[in-house]
Amino acid sequence: MDLTIIPGSRIVEVARLAFTTPDVDFLCFGESDQPSPAAARQAATQALADGETRYPDVRGLPALRQALSGYLTGLHAKPVPESRIQVTASGMAAVSIAMAAVVRAGHRVVIHSPTWPNIANAARLRGAVVEEIDLDAQPDGGFRLDLDRLDTMMAGARVFVLNSPGNPTGWTATEAELRAIRDIARRHGAWLIADEVYSRLVYDGRAAAPSMLDIADPDDRIIVCNSFSKTWVMTGWRLGWLVVPEGTAEHIVDIVEAVHSGVAPFIQRAGVAAIADTETMERFRTHCAVGRDLASQALAELNFVRYRPPVGAFYAFLAVDGLHDSLDLAKKLVTRHGVAVAPGVAFGSAGEGWLRVCFAQSAGLMERAMQRLRDGIRAEMGSS
For position 301, what pLDDT does the model report? 80
Return the bridge partners of 113, or none: 134
Helix (H) or strand (E) holding 159: strand 159-163
Q: How confident is the model at residue 384, as a pLDDT? A: 41
Q: Which helix (DSSP H) or strand (DSSP E) does residue 111 occupy? A: strand 108-113
User: What is the β-pairing status of strands 85-88 and 305-306?
Assistant: unpaired
Residues present in the chain in total: 384
Residues 6+ apart with CB under 8 A from 104: 126, 127, 128, 158
The domains located in the chain, with CATH, are 10-36+279-377 (3.90.1150.10), 38-276 (3.40.640.10)
* Measured distance CA(353)–CA(172) in Å, rounded: 21
- At residue 6, the pLDDT reads 85
DSSP string, 213-252: HHH--TTSSEEEEEESTTTTT-GGG--EEEE--TT-HHHH
pLDDT value of residue 383: 52
pTM of the model: 0.96
pLDDT tens track, the chain, 384 positions: 688 888 888 999 999 999 999 999 999 999 999 999 999 999 999 999 999 999 999 999 999 999 999 999 999 999 999 999 999 999 999 999 999 999 999 999 999 999 999 999 999 999 999 999 999 998 888 899 999 999 999 999 999 999 999 999 999 999 999 999 999 999 999 999 999 999 999 999 999 999 999 999 999 999 999 999 999 999 999 999 999 999 999 999 999 999 999 999 999 999 999 999 999 999 999 999 999 999 999 999 888 899 999 999 999 999 999 999 999 999 999 999 999 999 999 999 999 999 999 999 999 999 999 999 999 999 999 754
Phi-psi region of 90 (alpha: psi -120 to 50; beta: other; left: phi over 0): left
- Tell me the CA distances in angstroms from 115 to 62, 71, 72, 352, one per residue in order: 33, 27, 25, 12
Look at residue 1 in the predicted model and tell me its pLDDT.
Answer: 66
